[in-house]
Structure formats: C-alpha cells, structure tokens
Chains A and B, each alone.
Chain A
C-alpha cells in the first residue's frame, strides 16, 4: 500500500486494477455509497465524543473520486457522520477501486459481522447483490459474503412475510428464527402468515418451527373436517357436526345393531351421520348413528337378515313400557347373569321368604283391573271398583297377609279366564278350590270340568 494523491484515479463503477492507496481526505469530499446496505447510522453521540478525544484511528474505505471529486464511502459511514458531528475536517482513508457488487459484498460482510445492520437492510443487500450479478445462486452468495447457507436462506425466506412482520423483525419483536419458521407457511396464504406471526411475536420460543408445525397440523385437521362435513352433507339427508351436535340419546349403529342392521338402518328416518372434529389423526371422525334408538327392538334387528325386514317395520307394535334401549338391555343381562348364578347356589342364594314375598307381590301388582276389583270385592273393600293393586297390598306386611291378598287376586285372575278358556289348568285349579270348600258346580261348570283341559 502506498500513500499518494488519490485524485488521479477515477473508477466509474467499472473494475479497475489499481493498488489501494492510504491518504488523508477531507470529510466534506466524501459521501455515502448508494449501494451501502446500511440505511441508518443510529446514535452517534458516543462515537463523536471518541473522535473529538482521539480522532479517527481506523481509516475509512472509499472509492476513487468521481467526476465531481466526491469519494463514495464503502466502509466507515458512521465514522464519517460522527466526524462531521465532531467537527473533524481530515481523516485517514484507503482509496480502493471496487465494482458495485464488491461494494455491496464488503458492506454486507463488514456490517453483518458486527451485527448492527437491521434485517431489512441485510435482506435488501442480498436482493441487490443477486440482481446485480446474474447467476449468483444462494450457495455462491454464501461463499462471497462469508456467511452460512442457513444465514442467507433465513433472510431470503422472510422476504415473503407481510411488510408489518418484516418491520417486527427489524424491531426485534419477531426473531429471525421465528420469522423463517412462519415463512414456511407461505403456501397456506397471507392470512395464515399473519396469524402465525401474531402467535410468534413478542415471546421467546425455544423451537418456533415446532409451533409452526403444530399450526400447520391444526389447519390440516380443520380442512379435513370441513371437507368431510361437505361430503357428508352432500350424501346424507341428516348430518350432525360440532356446530349442530346429535341429540344425547343418539347411539352409534355399531352399538345397537349387527352389520346387517347397520345397512338396513340407512333407510330409517332416525338414521344420521355424525362428523366430529378431532385433535388427533386426520382431524375428523365420521360415524353413523341412530338418533332415536327407542324406535327399534335391538334383538329383532340383530336377527334381521334383509333390508326389507327392518325398513318395513316403521311403527313397531309393542307395549309402551317395554324398554329396549341398549343400556337397559345390558343391565338386564347383568341382572339375569347374577340371578342365574345365585339360583345355582345351594347355600347363600336367595332367601325363601324374599322369593315368596316377591312372587306374591308380583301376582298382585301384575294383575289386571278386573282381577283387582274381584279381589277387592272378596276381601271386603268398601269401594271395590275404586281399589288398586297398591290398596290391596297396603297393610299386608306379613307373608300370611300377603298370601291372602295374592290368593284373592289369583282367584280373580282365574275367574277372568273362565270366560275364555274354562277348561284350562288354571281354571280347573280354581274350580277344584271352590269345590273343596263345599261349592256345588252348576250345569255349565260341571260340563266344563268333564272336558279335556286346554293347553296353557
């Protein structure tokens, strides 16, 4: 390096093979290079104070003077501004011919290594470099500016972020790692970029990529749910979703019917499809339900072999108190199992008194209206036509009293049956009991007693 008068060499953006020269230049003859990545010089107070005390120790790097005698600053823009502020007139400088690309590379490398460029300045410099030199791929760029590929890639990736989030990167609200992770959602659209940037801003995330991956997964599941719902609505007349849930009594078909019954059920008016969003797997679960399981007899449907068998029975005829819900049926089977086991025991089974009490009360409670009135009459109730089974049992606490009431009801049951099948074994038992107490059968009854008994 030599110290000479630099005004002899002028480089107008073209590469000039000249030796760098060290010289003293007037600050007023210098100007910032337009391609310098740094756009702001920040707070110069401390630097200006240092220059007043010690002067500018490290030379600035400038291009040779242009036609107007101005030296464009390649490195040292802050020192130049602080020197002007400190009132310094002459500073040491290295006059070095460089191309525009070299100027940007030098500015990017020098400033980036000190980490005092904003992200926007770094990104703009990278883009400017690539636009100035054709064929400069990201990998070549890394080598040129002495930075890793991931460093360059991160700064390229965040260029897709909306402007407000690029500002957040400059202000430090959004870290570069978070910005790069958020930018990976660009394929989902600008709204999602906004949403995930908002989620990542203002907090320190250990692994922002994981947050973004979770966001993408949530979106994917949401999309799957909406697609499944659309398909279901197009294909089925009744569809329940998270927004319009199925009634509580709805049951999955698999819980109610066998596979044949499931197929047959599709033609039932109580058939519906449920589309449910999940936070796992594909994000959606689709299943078929019956929204009115009480319409069906599960046992019959389980045995159904054809669609017509089920579909034809739209109005099942059965007692209204017959309970065929799945839960009750399951409970009934459990009780049956326990009762069977208990009956099989030689010891520790049901108490005889309990069974007797149960049997006698059941006879009374299950009896029809005519039998109850008959029993109330023979038991001497004041108003036998108004008596109920509960009235008959009222006060019958002992087995003997209960036997008396149940016997009266049994006589009433048999008397009722006399009209329809007088020769049944039940009626014969009834008549035998009457005869045993001294009653003489009339002609019609006597003829009945001589007939063969009906099959019960």
Chain B
C-alpha cells in the first residue's frame, strides 16, 4: 500500500477548514477540485472521481479530491497528502496512484 503524506491541514481551494469530520450515512460522494477551486465532477464512484482527477492532474499538476465528510486529499504526480490519513478512501487512492493508471 502506498504511504500517505500527512499534512497539518488539507483543504481544497475555495473550501474552509473543518473542526471535525462528521461521518456520513451510507456511501460517500466525492468532488474533484482544481487549483482555482472549480469543482469538476460530483460522483459517488471513487473510480470516476479519480479518472477526472487524473485529467486535472495532467492539466494543472495538482488536484484535490474532497469527500462528503469533508475529508480531503491533495494529489500531485509524486504523492498523496492529507490531514486524515486513516480514511480508507484516501488509502485507496494512494494505492491506486502507486499502482499506476490503467
């Protein structure tokens, strides 16, 4: 499994830090945010989100993926950074990034 870099605060552009991450009921949804704060895709599939995120990553060199519980991951070509490394979905995308795109 790929390691996740832990940062003090991980907030997508245009967002605000949250005091705590309330768990959401059911399957979470994900939003792909670029460096300008533009939200590209809202989806319940992490695979769809990561497909869109990889496109933004190629265009801009970095991208944020935010889940509906306000946890967030910052992705650049070399690493995945977050302030909530224990979140399983973040570990999934880290593993996905390490394994390479299909």
Contact = CB atoms under 8 A, between A and B. Distances in A.
Interface of A: 120, 123-124, 126-127, 130-131, 134, 137-138, 153, 156-163, 166, 183-184, 186-190, 192-193
B49 to A, nearest CB: 8
Contacts of A183: 45-47
A196 to B, nearest CB: 12
* Prevailing SS type, chain A contact patch: helix
Nearest to A158: B47
B96 to A, nearest CB: 5
A157 B28 contact: no
Contacts of B1: 190
Contacts of A123: 102
**Top-6 shortest CB links A-B:** A189-B88, A157-B47, A160-B47, A186-B46, A190-B95, A156-B51
Given A187-B28, A189-B89, A127 B45 contact: no
B88 A192 contact: yes
B48 A187 contact: no
Nearest to B29: A187
Contacts of B74: none
A163 B99 CA distance: 6
Contact of B55 (A131, A161, A187): A131
B48 to A, nearest CB: 4
11 contacts: A127-B102, A138-B41, A138-B48, A153-B45, A156-B47, A156-B51, A158-B102, A162-B96, A187-B27, A189-B88, A192-B88
Contacts of A166: 102
Given A160-B46, A186-B46, A130 B89 contact: no
A131 B27 contact: no
Nearest to A167: B102
A162 B95 contact: yes
A158 B59 CA distance: 22
Interface string B72-102: 0000000000000000110111011001111
A159 B101 contact: yes
Contacts of A190: 1, 88, 91-92, 95-96
Nearest to B28: A187
Residue from A120, A124, A190, A193 with most neighbouring chain B CB atoms (10 Å): A190
A449 B6 CA distance: 99
A138 B48 CA distance: 9
B54 to A, nearest CB: 6
Contacts of A192: 88
Contacts of B48: 138, 153, 156-157
B92 A187 contact: yes
Contact of B100 (A130, A157, A163): A163
* Prevailing SS type, chain B contact patch: helix
B58 interface: yes
Contacts of A162: 95-96, 99
A127 B54 contact: yes
A124 B91 CA distance: 23
B63 interface: no
Contact of B88 (A120, A156, A184, A187): A187
Contacts of B27: 184, 187
B41 A186 contact: no
A193 B96 CA distance: 11
A11 B56 CA distance: 28
B31 interface: no
Interface in B12-63: 27-28, 41, 44-48, 50-52, 54-55, 58-59
A128 B28 CA distance: 27
Given A187-B89, A190-B91, A157 B45 contact: yes
Nearest to B89: A187
B45 A156 contact: yes
A392 to B, nearest CB: 76
A368 B100 CA distance: 89
A184 B48 CA distance: 10
Contacts of A186: 45-47, 89, 92-93
Given A186-B46, A190-B92, A192-B88, A159 B51 contact: yes
A138 B44 CA distance: 14
A184 B54 CA distance: 19
Interface string B1-17: 10000000000000000
Contacts of B51: 126-127, 130, 156, 159
A123 B27 CA distance: 24
B64 to A, nearest CB: 17
Given A137-B41, A138-B41, A160 B28 contact: no
Contacts of B47: 156-161, 183, 186
Nearest to A118: B102
Contacts of A161: 47
Nearest to A157: B47
B102 A124 contact: yes
A166 B50 CA distance: 15
Nearest to A179: B47
Contacts of A120: 102
A163 B59 CA distance: 24
